[in-house]
Amino acid sequence: MKKALITGITGQDGAYLAEYLLEKGYEVHGIKRRSSLINTQRIDHLYEEPHCENRRFYLHYGDMTDSTNLIRIIQEVQPDEIYNLAAQSHVKVSFESPEYTANADALGTLRLLEAIRILKLESKTRFYQASTSELFGKVQEIPQKETTPFYPRSPYAVAKLYAYWITVNYREAYGIFACNGILFNHESPIRGETFVTRKITRAVARIRYGLQDKLYLGNLDAKRDWGYAKDYVRAMWMILNHEVPDDYVIATGEVHSVREFVEKAFSYVGIEIEWIGKGIYEKGIDKNTGKVLIEVDPRYFRPTEVDILVGDASKAREVLGWQPTVSFDELVQIMMDSDLKEVEKELLFKNRGYIYQQTYIE
Ligand code: NDP
Ligand code: GDR
């Protein structure tokens, strides 16, 4: 039975990858951080209690900033595959915590690669690095592919640039089977609530049921290539299970603006949006009622923005046989259906007199 170790197992991709590998028959180990509130909601359905027979799912406390802890876990687990998904993954937050982001995202990657070396696992353990389309940043070419020059535009992207190259370097220097998946944005019903797609679908569902009046957003003109997270974790496995270690762009090739995402999500609940005003004064109104539903709030602007990202995944298609299965329209539907259900649950509580507390979403 193959053993996989996933850092960032409590995140969106970690949860889907753990499910995927368990289905494939792997023994799955994950690293989670200690937190004052339980942070395992995305993987609770996979939990196996310590005494269960034929156990295949294990969690270890750890942190990407703690070398000795990472070395100990890797020594204990002796994984065939490591998927390094842990990161401070929010681009806007990285401007506020640049040093921590560099520590976790850049040095954290180095710590794992060094652990493989220290433990002499170079010929046993394969290593996947969660690289990102943010590396392309200020766009040099459209669409972006493996050969497009990098130009990172945030502390997050700069940290990930280090992680990208240290992965390549350890492959070339020590012969480790180490690969980068350069993944474009991928979303799902379990996407973090502060990333723009989930922020939109959640807000639209709440507005539809009268639990929220308005949605505040930043740059409506940013364009992204949004795919479905389940398709993307499949690509991670394919990258690590190919005969030759290499780096691959994973993307749909379809590009849409934040504005289009908003329109599509509102239209799904029968609300047509009309845009009035310009720049920071732009508003989205309900065509039928004239009610203001979307406002621009400059607090969500980034000091340096990435205007457009759209990927060319031909290499992954040709070499790995990977293809996305979910279109942009289907993605919006999947996320809207899930958030509408969530809000229906909230309403049940509210209607029975339980106080509903609004979660703080920035
Ligand atoms: P999430 O933000 O949903 O998950 C990040 C995970 O990393 C969480 O499990 C988080 O733990 C964990 N983590 C953060 N800091 C540390 C730390 N110091 N030590 C240990 N664990 C830590 O990200 P996604 O699942 O969306 O993304 C997975 C990876 O892929 C990330 O590296 C991201 O940068 C990268 N990526 C994501 C893309 C996307 O569109 N989703 C696209 C390209 C790359 P906790 O739950 O406790 O916060
Ligand atoms: P991104 O995702 O920065 O691409 O990073 P995010 O959803 O945060 O932003 C996408 C675009 O939307 C614009 N935007 C807003 N973004 C947020 N979060 N909130 C808003 O209110 C808002 N309004 C407009 C942003 O300016 C941006 O242009 C994600 C993360 O998952 C990274 O970890 C990953 O590496 C990249 O995708 C690929």
> What is the per-residue pLDDT across 276-297, written as a single tens digit (0 to 9) for each?
999 999 999 999 999 999 999 9
Which residues, listed in sequence order, are joined to residue 308 by a DSSP beta bridge? Answer: 223
Residue 49 has pLDDT above 80, yes or no: yes
Counting from 1 in the atom list of ligand 2, the atom nearest the Cα of 306 is 28
Q: What pTM was estimated for this model as a whole?
A: 0.98
Residue 361 has pLDDT above 90, yes or no: no
Task: Provide the percentage of residues in the chain whose pLDDT is more than 70.
Answer: 98
**In Å, what is the CA distance from 61 to each residue of 35, 76, 103, 175?**
10, 13, 18, 29
Task: State the distance from the centre of ligand 2 to the C-alpha of 89, rounded, in angstroms.
Answer: 10
| Residue nearest (by alpha carbon) to ligand 1 atom 29 | 85
How far is the C-alpha of 345 from the C-alpha of 82, rounded, in Å?
37
φ and ψ of 196, to 5 deg: -60, -40
Mean pLDDT of all residues in 238-250: 98
- Check if the beta carbon of residue 245 is closer than 8 Å to that of residue 220: no
Counting from 1 in the atom list of ligand 2, the atom nearest the Cα of 89 is 33
Question: Which of 17-26, 255-264, 341-350 has the lowest average pLDDT?
Answer: 341-350
- Check if the beta carbon of residue 60 is closer than 8 Å to that of residue 108: no
> What is the per-residue pLDDT across 59-86, written as a single tens digit (0 to 9) for each?
999 999 999 999 999 999 999 999 999 9
**How sure is the predictor about 359, in pLDDT bands with cuts at 50, 70 and 90?**
low
How far is the C-alpha of 207 from the C-alpha of 298, rounded, in Å?
22
Mean pLDDT of all residues in 199-220: 97
> What is the per-residue pLDDT across 96-129, written as a single tens digit (0 to 9) for each?
999 999 999 999 999 999 999 999 999 999 999 9
143: preceding bond cis by omega (within 30 degrees): yes
**Nearest CA to 179 among 166, 189, 160?**
166
**Nearest CA to 154 among 91, 88, 104?**
91
How far is the C-alpha of 312 from the C-alpha of 223, rounded, in Å?
15
Q: Average pLDDT, whole number, for the chain?
A: 96
Task: State the distance from the centre of ligand 2 to the C-alpha of 245, rounded, in angstroms.
Answer: 29
Spell out which residues line ligand 2, taking CB within 6 angstroms: 89, 91-92, 132-134, 184-185, 194-196, 199, 217-219, 222, 224, 258, 300, 302, 305-306
| ipTM reported for the complex, 2 dp | 0.99
- Check if the beta carbon of residue 240 is closer than 8 Å to that of residue 191: no
Task: State the distance from the centre of ligand 2 to the C-alpha of 91, rounded, in angstroms.
Answer: 7
How far is the C-alpha of 88 from the C-alpha of 243, rounded, in Å?
31
| Residue nearest (by alpha carbon) to ligand 2 atom 19 | 196
* Catalytic residue ranges: 132, 134, 156
**How sure is the predictor about 31, in pLDDT bands with cuts at 50, 70 and 90?**
very high
Mean pLDDT of all residues in 12-31: 98
Residue 354 has pLDDT above 90, yes or no: no
Residue 139 has pLDDT above 90, yes or no: no
Give the per-residue pLDDT at 48: 87
| Residue nearest (by alpha carbon) to ligand 1 atom 47 | 33
Task: State the distance from the centre of ligand 1 to the C-alpha of 87, rounded, in angstroms.
Answer: 4
Find the ligand nearest to 228 CA.
Answer: 1
CB-ligand 1 contact for 89 (6 Å cutoff): yes
Three-state secondary structure readout of 145-213: CCCCCCCCCCHHHHHHHHHHHHHHHHHHHHCCCEEEEEECCEECCCCCCCCHHHHHHHHHHHHHCCCCC
> What is the per-residue pLDDT across 311-346, written as a single tens digit (0 to 9) for each?
999 999 999 999 999 999 999 999 999 999 999 999
How far is the C-alpha of 226 from the C-alpha of 262, rounded, in Å?
13
| Residue nearest (by alpha carbon) to ligand 1 atom 22 | 86
Task: State the distance from the centre of ligand 2 to the C-alpha of 275, rounded, in angstroms.
Answer: 21
Question: Which domains does the chain possess?
Answer: 3-188+226-250 (3.40.50.720), 196-223+256-306+328-351 (3.90.25.10)
Find the ligand nearest to 180 CA.
Answer: 1
SS3 content of the chain, % helix, strand, coil (to 5): 40, 15, 40
Give the per-residue pLDDT at 215: 97
Find the ligand nearest to 261 CA.
Answer: 2
Residue 357 has pLDDT above 70, yes or no: no
Counting from 1 in the atom list of ligand 1, the atom nearest the Cα of 192 is 3
Give the per-residue pLDDT at 50: 83
DSSP for 289-340, please give it: T--EEEEE-GGG--SS---B--B--HHIIIII-------HHHHHHHHHHHHH
Give the per-residue pLDDT at 52: 86
CB-ligand 1 contact for 65 (6 Å cutoff): yes
List of residues 6+ apart from 56 with CB closer than 8 A: 1, 22, 26, 27, 28, 48
Query: What does the DSSP 8-state code read for residue 282?
Result: -
Residue 360 has pLDDT above 70, yes or no: no
Residue 152 has pLDDT above 70, yes or no: yes
| Residue nearest (by alpha carbon) to ligand 2 atom 27 | 222
How far is the C-alpha of 83 from the C-alpha of 8, rounded, in Å?
9
Task: State the distance from the centre of ligand 1 to the C-alpha of 289, rounded, in angstroms.
Answer: 40
Encoding tokens for residue 164? 């990208």
